[in-house]
Amino acid sequence: MKSRGFRKAVNNVMLTLTGIFTVITVSSLFVILGYLLFNGGKSLDWNFFTKLPLSPGEEGGGMANAIVGSAVIVGLAALIGIPVGFLAGVYLSEYESKAFASVVRYVADLLNGVPSIVIGIVAWTLVVVPMRSFSALAAAVGLAIMLIPIVTRQTEQFLREVPNSLREGALALGAHKWRMIATVVVPAGSKGVLTGMILGIARVAGETAPLLFTAFNNQFWTDSLRQPVATLPVQIYMRATSPYDDWHRQAWAAGLVLIALVLVSNIAARIVLARGVSVPRG
């Protein structure tokens, strides 16, 4: 047996070390945010939001088309992904038939872990090849495939938190099951479900890899979903890896805008959730 003093020393050293490790990890978040705020803040100007990009090497210009492009693609992805994910989540939570439901659940979790670049290949095959053009639509399909499993699992989770007494109450009053789900269960869990959807959208909004060969890129405005389109994440990638200083500046500005969107939705979602689901747990 080692001496008491030695064991105490090991105890103190190791416990301090775990604290230091935690500080290192948490501070990396603040270093990241600080850098973005500093570099992005000094690069961001009004032109960024209103002007089109200029040709490589020219000073100035903005990313108005990329901002709109991202919004359109993410909006379209939500339009496809949210209803599918939500209804699948309702099935898992309310109509569980054991074996099949656990298969769906497991597959949804696995889909969640599929590398985003692979999803890009799939969207390319399914949409870009038949349509013979890079397009906003292809990018939206890719992002929707990523969004569905997230929304499904979140919907299921928050609907399960609705106490069973509410379900029984509704059934006892003579409601049919679908009416009970539509008028009691879903409204009761709506806060959590909505939060889950927002988190899911925030997650796919920052994805870049699935856009590289679906949305591709575009210097100009486009009014068609069937054409290549500029997006914020791809612009960050292109500009950060370019040799031009002015493009680096714009990459920082775009990075700040993107992170602001993602973090604000994350923090807002947590705050809403921290107040609990809208019914007390039973």
Partner 1 sequence: MATGVQVDHRVRPLDQVGDTIARLITLVFAASIVLAAVLIVSVLWKDSAPAREKLGWGFLISSQWNPVTEQFGGLPFIYGTVVTSVLALLISVPLGLGSAIFLSELAPPRLSSALTFLIELLAAIPSVIYGLLAIFTLVPLMRVYIEPFLRSTLGFLPLFQGLAYGVGYLTAGVILAIMTLPFIISVSRESLLAVPREQREAALALGATSWETTWKVVVPYARLGIMGSIFLGLARALGETMAVTMVIGNSSAIHASLFAPGHTIAAVIANEFAEATGDVYKGVLIELGLVLFCLTIILNGLARLMILATTGKGSRRA
Instruction: Give the footprint of partner 1 on residues 173-232 (CB under 8 A).
Output: 176-179, 181-182, 202-203, 205-209, 212-213, 216
Minimum Å gap between C-beta 46 and partner 1 is 22
State the SS3 of the chain.
CCCHHHHHHHHHHHHHHHHHHHHHHHHHHHHHHHHHHHHHHHHCCHHHHHCCCCCCCCCCCCCHHHHHHHHHHHHHHHHHHHHHHHHHHHHHHHCCCHHHHHHHHHHHHHHHCCCHHHHHHHHHHHHHHHHCCCCHHHHHHHHHHHHHHHHHHHHHHHHHCCCHHHHHHHHHCCCCHHHHHHHHHHHHHHHHHHHHHHHHHHHHHCCCHHHCCCCCCCCCCCCCCCCCCCCHHHHHHHHHCCCCHHHHHHHHHHHHHHHHHHHHHHHHHHHHHHCCCCCCCC
Report how far residue 237's alpha carbon sits from residue 143's, in angstroms, rounded to the nearest whole number.
18
| Distance in Å from the first CA to the final CA of the chain | 51
For partner 1, the closer CB: 92 or 223: 92
Residue 38 near partner 1 by CB under 8 A: no
Minimum Å gap between C-beta 252 and partner 1 is 7
For partner 1, the closer CB: 76 or 150: 150
The residues near 128 (Cβ < 8 Å, ≥ 6 apart) are: 134, 135, 138, 213, 214
Minimum Å gap between C-beta 240 and partner 1 is 5
For partner 1, the closer CB: 107 or 131: 107
For partner 1, the closer CB: 51 or 160: 160
Q: Which of 37, 52, 68, 84 binds partner 1 (CB under 8 A)?
A: 84
Minimum Å gap between C-beta 113 and partner 1 is 4
Report how far residue 201's alpha carbon sits from residue 265's, in angstroms, rounded to the nearest whole number.
9
Map the footprint of partner 1 across residues 231-270, applying CB under 8 A. 233, 236-237, 240-241, 248, 251-252, 255, 258-259, 262-263, 266-267, 270
Q: Which of 3, 26, 99, 275 binds partner 1 (CB under 8 A)?
A: 26
Q: Which of 29, 98, 172, 275 binds partner 1 (CB under 8 A)?
A: 29
Map the footprint of partner 1 across residues 44-73, applying CB under 8 A. none
For partner 1, the closer CB: 50 or 102: 102
Of 81, 88, 83, 87, residue with least CA distance to 105: 88
Map the footprint of partner 1 across residues 85-114, applying CB under 8 A. 87-88, 90-92, 94-95, 100-111, 113-114
Q: Which of 67, 78, 119, 215 binds partner 1 (CB under 8 A)?
A: 119
Tell me which stretch binds partner 1 (CB under 8 A): 44-52, 56-64, 143-151, 184-192.
143-151
For partner 1, the closer CB: 50 or 103: 103
Q: Which of 41, 57, 75, 115 binds partner 1 (CB under 8 A)?
A: 115
Residue 79 near partner 1 by CB under 8 A: no
